[in-house]
Chains A and B, each alone.
Chain A
């Protein structure tokens, strides 16, 4: 939590949040982690700020006083690819999905621990850097190694045989390690746009995948479930 990313200049984070107490601890946590903070209390100010001084990350609260957070993301996405992390209340799965669909990179449910936020920022940054390159960089998480280029998956050194669907599913998750991928996104990328309603395909094949990759499928270490939203490949 303490080590700041070593960069030539501090990464700028734009926080769009109207709650001063939340802003206060975000400022403390993020500056001590080596980020520079820009703060906007309303959606309009936030959008203006983002345009005048393009940040490296944006953190948006979904419950803003003047504009819906999802709308902020949509407008931001019209011209910017800056990573966006959404803060939302518990139980608001629909809002989270809407925000992700609108182009948010990830979300955090309030109340959250600062450690989680920093992890999300790290993932977003890695993802932003990797963007533009082909998604076949080998990924290693714990004992799991995925090599998309060679279509090879190993667990503790032993090769794992996957069906084409399972492999494809894992590839989509591995392309964004640590980041949540919605059900819709997975279905679209693996089965095609005509099958975005058949979530049960996903459950069956994710189950199979867990059986093959997880030592204890009911307590997954790699393939995490985000109930009501999607799946996440744990990053390390």
Chain B
């Protein structure tokens, strides 16, 4: 590796050493000279400081090529990943090329073979899937004699360690076997490469139909061998492969520990690159074949039966049945016994034996024994047996299988001891009672087994029903969520319900940093550590945290919300018991859950994006029009002001007083006009920036009309007004300043477009639910088809005489204000010529009448 790296370095590739184990060898150390090395990270573990490969530093440094020795290494507890190969995976995801080394005995699929050959169980293994990802595998092959020579010379291990290694693992026989394994593994790969090359070159041959393999595992021990065998076969065939376990409803009573082992096995198979599934059904053969046909499986692998022949004769053999009904599918029967000694991939600590239910079972039998004491002699003994059976049944229902078995035996013993003559001994005078005992024990055991099974089946069914219901509820709720906030709340509420623990959603901010978007149910918010795990999930689009291989020490399990657009966020669930999410069922449910949420979130975000694009296009258009209008409309009054004032400054003393005064009046008028323009621009900005929130209060429209007329006095220049505002109009709720502005704009508009000798009419009316105000003029009017356009921003009616001035914002602002009040503003042509603008404001209920006898009235 180091030599190769040197060559690459010489060729101009940026090479950095992530971690290289020299084992104290000076030769190796010499090869390291001249390379940049990442300093190791020190991890504290039980008081010892362990140097570890610094993944974050490597990601940060981001060289073209990184050297990472010993792929099979197990990281110190507390590191991000449990295994170094996971570190390497992350490096590859980040686009860093990696050179690494691996001994053949660490390859997962060869593990059992190695154990068989060498008698040594290697615990550090690397999944084959990562080997498959390698661009190139180079076999470092040394004849066994040379290697042993090197070992003796201390080139592999130093001193006594080398001696020990020679005696145990690296015996010549072992080395030959391992060498053969390594050669074979590499040859397999070369084969596969050749094959894909042929395919690329268009040489189609036997590989038109892709092979699919199905492995049925029944229990952990045989399953492990089957899975490894299947893996080898799948690689050789370049086939897709499936590993399934069929649970029979009757088997649901199988011990929890067995089930967990199966779950582990399936997880292991997934690591090796298989698809896995838990099936359930009465007929194993039926289930298996329907799964196989559904996925076009061409070969099925099963384990050799271990049942005795006479049992098979009675119960029938699955193997035979399967072979008979498989027809087009080949069935391979594999001997699973040979790997019985193989190690478990990730043995879990067994659940601690809980003595409490067993003691309780004992107590119940004790109580029953005492309670029936007064009945002794009055009832037939056989009825006492019935009472004991009832107790066993009760224990089975309440406490489960183990305690029920205990209760069965203890009941028989207690019955014998207390109530069978001679009493208070285990001796039996009448041998008939031996039959009673046997039947009693048998019945008790059978009853308890059946009861427990029934209970477990019911629980299983309830579980499945609950999950289906939860997913249905999620989909329904997500569909009806109105906003993104709603959607997040719904998803989290459903996740809490379904997984029966706290859940949170994390979404990234603009910079890609995740932050919780929903409040935690329990008081504590996730700390920086948990957030970092969520962040990792987000960046790598992979589940992490509790119950996964990445950062398993975290409190939460984090699932990426992944869609085609990428990862939108992260769903975190915080199970009280890590095993709650360990079954593939639960993991898949969580995945489905995350996917549903992601899809809904994506939909909502797409909608928001579209809306935003539309808005920004609209804003852009507005900005352009605004700039064009502003430059014209602000400059016109400025030009007159500048012209008038400079005239006065330069030649003012030569002008007669009347002309001087005229010029000054023009300056004042143009300044007023500028003020109006700026006012409208400001108001428009306010409207654009997020709408107007009217300050509602009770007002009299008469008063506001009066104030508005006072405001436009100079523009009206004594023009005739027809005011039709009834004196008994009720108060209406609105924002007086805003409505005054509406009226001012409407009046100005009328004054601008109507001839000076025509009156302007103002009319106010109330209906049952509205206040209506009309401003009518006899100007150029509103042309048909323009009734709506006049309210568009920057729209201006073609002027009758000269440029009336204005930005074309007035009416748009008026409409925005009226709409903010929940009212309407419309324009129409007035009968007999001219324009009519009418706005209507909702009335609402009237205020409490004003008291006419005030406090402290004189």
Q: Name A residues whose Cβ lies closer than 8 Å to a Cβ of B.
A: 90-91, 93, 111, 113, 163-165, 168, 190-192, 194-195, 198-201, 203-207, 210-211, 216-220, 224-228
Is B648 interfacial (CB-CB < 8 Å)? no
Whether the Cβ atoms of A168 and B850 lie closer than 8 Å is: no
With A218-B702, A219-B706, A219-B721 already in contact, the answer to whether A168 and B858 are too (CB < 8 A) is yes
Given contacts A200-B847, A204-B850, A211-B727, 5 further A-B contacts (CB under 8 A): A91-B682, A165-B857, A206-B700, A218-B709, A218-B723
Closest 5 CB pairs of A and B: A200-B698, A201-B850, A192-B855, A225-B707, A200-B847
B119 surroundings in chain A (CB, below 8 A) = none
Q: Which of B668, B697, B731, B856 contacts A204 (CB 8 A)?
A: B731
Provide the B516-544 mask, 1 if CB < 8 A to any CB of A, else 0. 00000000000000000000000000000
Whether the Cβ atoms of B851 and A225 lie closer than 8 Å is: no
Q: Which residue of B lies closest to A201 (CB)?
A: B850
User: A229 → chain B, closest Cβ, in Å?
Assistant: 9
Whether the Cβ atoms of A190 and B854 lie closer than 8 Å is: yes
B737 surroundings in chain A (CB, below 8 A) = 91, 93, 227-228
Whether the Cβ atoms of B679 and A218 lie closer than 8 Å is: no
CA of A200 to CA of B703, assembled, Å: 12
CA of A228 to CA of B695, assembled, Å: 10
Number of contact residues on B: which range applies?
35 or more
B710 surroundings in chain A (CB, below 8 A) = 220, 224-225
A190 surroundings in chain B (CB, below 8 A) = 854
Q: Which of B700, B703, B736, B855 contacts A191 (CB 8 A)?
A: B855
Interface of B is mostly: mixed
Q: Name B residues whose Cβ lies closer than 8 Å to a Cβ of A.
A: 668, 671, 675, 679, 682, 695, 697-700, 702-707, 709-710, 721, 723, 725, 727, 731, 736-737, 740, 762, 847-858
Whether the Cβ atoms of A111 and B702 lie closer than 8 Å is: no
CA of A91 to CA of B682, assembled, Å: 10
CA of A207 to CA of B675, assembled, Å: 31
Whether the Cβ atoms of A227 and B740 lie closer than 8 Å is: yes
User: B148 → chain A, closest Cβ, in Å?
Assistant: 90
Whether the Cβ atoms of A218 and B854 lie closer than 8 Å is: no
Q: Which residue of A lies closest to B683 (CB)?
A: A91
With A203-B699, A218-B705, A218-B706 already in contact, the answer to whether A164 and B858 are too (CB < 8 A) is yes
Whether the Cβ atoms of B857 and A164 lie closer than 8 Å is: yes
With A91-B737, A203-B731, A224-B710 already in contact, the answer to whether A164 and B704 are too (CB < 8 A) is no
User: A231 → chain B, closest Cβ, in Å?
Assistant: 9
B697 surroundings in chain A (CB, below 8 A) = 199-200
CA of A68 to CA of B15, assembled, Å: 64
Whether the Cβ atoms of B858 and A207 lie closer than 8 Å is: no
Q: Which of B675, B731, B855 contacts A111 (CB 8 A)?
A: B675
CA of A220 to CA of B713, assembled, Å: 12
CA of A217 to CA of B854, assembled, Å: 24
Whether the Cβ atoms of A220 and B706 lie closer than 8 Å is: yes
Whether the Cβ atoms of A207 and B851 lie closer than 8 Å is: no
CA of A10 to CA of B856, assembled, Å: 43
B855 surroundings in chain A (CB, below 8 A) = 191-192, 194-195
CA of A164 to CA of B762, assembled, Å: 32
With A168-B857, A218-B709 already in contact, the answer to whether A163 and B702 are too (CB < 8 A) is no
CA of A206 to CA of B699, assembled, Å: 11
Q: Which residue of A lies closest to B671 (CB)?
A: A111
User: A228 → chain B, closest Cβ, in Å?
Assistant: 4
B853 surroundings in chain A (CB, below 8 A) = 164-165
A210 surroundings in chain B (CB, below 8 A) = 702-703
Whether the Cβ atoms of A165 and B854 lie closer than 8 Å is: yes
CA of A205 to CA of B850, assembled, Å: 8
Whether the Cβ atoms of A207 and B721 lie closer than 8 Å is: no
Q: Which residue of B lies closest to A220 (CB)?
A: B706
User: B739 → chain A, closest Cβ, in Å?
Assistant: 9
CA of A165 to CA of B855, assembled, Å: 10
A165 surroundings in chain B (CB, below 8 A) = 850, 852-854, 857
User: B723 → chain A, closest Cβ, in Å?
Assistant: 4
CA of A194 to CA of B847, assembled, Å: 17
User: A102 → chain B, closest Cβ, in Å?
Assistant: 21
Q: Which of B707, B731, B762 contacts A227 (CB 8 A)?
A: B707
Q: Which residue of A lies closest to B736 (CB)?
A: A227
